[in-house]
């Protein structure tokens, strides 16, 4: 698939997109950051379809990461930050999985993970970075030598070389590039020509998308070509990087989507409460993931009252005065 200027043949349902592109054991990157713009509808579909053994490569993908880990879809995790802001200073199912030895995991920092995606997006095998020096991020490896020998796992956590351009000895750490099998991104706009526009902060979404072999984009709104091309400086990703598009309004609920809706504090608090107990967490999955047949049903469960409460105010981008305790 390259160069298609119209997207009809790349419009999928959530189930079709997951079936086509996501496989057991694949290396997966998800867009967004903690409570914002996680591709939750795709994440729920992955769980519902029983995908397993995922190798998740994350910077700070709070909510999406935690529920994938909690639902047992993840075998291996590279991560910078397993938290969800004030709603979970440490993500609860992530924490439980690490403390009970249920995960292969390895820690990096946010900048390091972002740079690794950047290197992948530039098709270069590694990139220097000045962070990590002296810390246990560089001293302690999370993965075993057996894991290291697997495909798509870096053969070393870091490398160090002497700066060949410096007269004095100067050690420079190198980070291995990431090229995930699939990246999942949620965006506000997709044009009829397939051009993707993300509003607000883009985090590492664009680097993730360009680093990945396959890219699935869910989006709030399909807009005319004339709209998306009116100001192309604002656009984020060209059509030829995208393999599947899925129209999913509120596709990142309960996380937020700038200019569309805020995070859902009631749901994030409910999640925290349910996640604290293994049994309750299974109930949560039963009610909100397995027991839900479609995204429309999910939205009916959230309810119009809440969708109106979290609706973003134009020109501000979030829901002012929302009760967020």
Partner 1 sequence: MLKYSNSEMMAIAAGRLIKDGDIVFAGTGVSMLAATVAKRIYAPRAVIFFETGGIDPALDEIPMAVADLRVMSGTALNSGLIEAFSTVGHRKLRTVAFLGAAQVDQYGNLNTTCIGDYHRPQKRFSGSGGGNDVASLATGVITFMQHEKRRLVEKLDYMTSVGWYRGGNSRQELGLKRGGAVAVVTNLGLLHFHEETKEMYLAEYFPGVTVEQVQENTGFALDVSNAKEAAPPTAEELAILREEVDPQGLICQPPE
Gap between the Cα atoms of 12 and 109, Å rounded: 34
236 contacts partner 1 (rule: CB under 8 A): yes
126 contacts a second copy (rule: CB under 8 A): yes
164 binds, among partner 1, a second copy, none (CB under 5 to 8 A by kind): a second copy
Among 123, 149, 155, 294, binds partner 1 (CB under 8 A): 123
Chain positions 142 to 181 lying near partner 1, rule: CB under 8 A, are: 142, 170-172
290 contacts partner 1 (rule: CB under 8 A): no
Are β-strands 171-176 and 159-162 bridged in parallel, bridged antiparallel, or unpaired? antiparallel
Gap between the Cα atoms of 193 and 215, Å rounded: 16
Name the minimum Å distance from CB 231 to partner 1.
Answer: 9
Half-sphere exposure in the Cβ direction for 195 (13 Å, CA): 17
Half-sphere exposure in the Cβ direction for 296 (13 Å, CA): 2
207 binds, among a second copy, partner 1, none (CB under 5 to 8 A by kind): partner 1
Which C-beta is closer to a second copy: that of 45 or that of 179?
A: 179
Angstrom CA distances, 231 to 5, 118, 193, 227, 228, stand at 18, 25, 14, 8, 7
Count of residues interacting with a second copy (CB under 8 A):
32
Nearest Cα to Cα of residue 137 among 102, 103, 113: 113
β-bridge partners, 246:
218
Which C-beta is closer to partner 1: that of 45 or that of 62?
A: 62
Chain positions 142 to 181 lying near a second copy, rule: CB under 8 A, are: 154-156, 159, 161, 163-167, 170, 172, 174, 176
Cis peptide before 250 (omega within 30 of 0): no
- Both tokens of residue 58? 């994350």
Segment near a second copy (CB under 8 A); pick from 4-12, 27-35, 230-238, 297-305:
230-238
29 binds, among a second copy, partner 1, none (CB under 5 to 8 A by kind): none
State whether residue 309 is helix, strand or coil.
helix
Segment near a second copy (CB under 8 A); pick from 37-45, 81-89, 124-132, 267-275:
124-132
């Amino acid at each position: 698939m390259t160069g298609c200027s119209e997207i009809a043949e790349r419009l999928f349902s959530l189930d079709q997109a997951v079936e086509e592109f996501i496989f057991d054991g694949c290396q997966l990157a998800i867009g967004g950051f903690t409570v914002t713009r996680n591709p939750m509808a795709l994440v729920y579909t992955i769980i519902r379809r029983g995908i397993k053994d995922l190798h998740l490569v994350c910077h700070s993908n709070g909510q999406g990461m935690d529920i994938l880990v909690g639902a047992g879809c993840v075998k291996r995790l590279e991560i910078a930050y397993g938290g969800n802001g004030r709603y979970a200073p440490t993500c609860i199912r992530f924490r439980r999985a690490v403390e009970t030895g249920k995960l292969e995991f390895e820690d990096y920092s946010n900048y390091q993970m972002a740079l690794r995606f950047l290197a992948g997006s530039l098709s270069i095998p590694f990139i220097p970075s000045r962070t990590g020096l002296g810390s246990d991020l560089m001293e302690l490896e999370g993965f075993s030598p057996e894991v290291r020998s697997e495909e798509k796992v870096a053969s070393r956590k870091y490398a160090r070389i002497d700066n060949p351009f410096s007269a004095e000895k100067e050690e420079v750490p190198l980070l291995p590039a990431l090229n995930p099998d699939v990246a999942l991104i949620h965006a506000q706009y997709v044009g009829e020509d397939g051009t993707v526009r993300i509003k607000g902060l883009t985090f590492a979404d664009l680097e993730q998308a360009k680093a990945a072999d396959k890219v699935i984009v869910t989006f709030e709104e399909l807009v005319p070509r004339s709209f998306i091309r009116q100001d192309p400086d604002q656009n984020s990703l060209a059509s030829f990087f995208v393999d599947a598009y899925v129209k999913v309004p509120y596709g990142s609920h309960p996380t937020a989507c700038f200019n569309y809706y805020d995070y859902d504090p009631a749901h994030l608090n409910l999640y925290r409460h349910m996640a604290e107990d293994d049994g309750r967490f299974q109930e949560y999955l039963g009610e909100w993931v397995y027991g839900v047949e479609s995204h429309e049903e999910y939205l009916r469960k959230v309810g119009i009252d809440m969708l109106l409460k979290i609706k973003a105010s134009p020109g501000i981008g979030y829901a002012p005065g929302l009760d967020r305790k």
